[in-house]
Amino acid sequence: MGDKFTEGYLMSLIDDAERIILSDPLGDKVPYLSYTLKETEKKREESPFSVLYKEVASCHACNGYETRGVFAEPVIKKNPKVLFIAPYPEGSIIFSPQSMEKFRAWWKLSLLLEEGEWALTTLIKCPVSSFSKEVADSCRNTLRTEMSLIAPEAMVLLGYDTASYMLRKNLPMDEMRGRKFVVNHIPVFVTYSPSDYINNPSLQRPIWNDMLFIRKSIGTEGRKA
Cα(177)–Cα(17) distance, rounded to whole angstroms? 78
pTM recorded for the entire structure: 0.77
Of the chain, the end-to-end C-alpha distance in Å amounts to: 53
Digits of tens for pLDDT over the chain (225 positions)?
Answer: 455 556 655 666 666 666 566 665 555 565 555 455 555 555 567 889 888 888 888 888 887 777 665 556 688 889 999 999 999 988 778 888 999 999 988 888 999 998 889 999 999 988 888 899 998 998 999 999 999 999 999 999 999 999 999 999 999 999 999 999 999 999 999 999 999 999 999 999 999 999 999 999 999 998 887
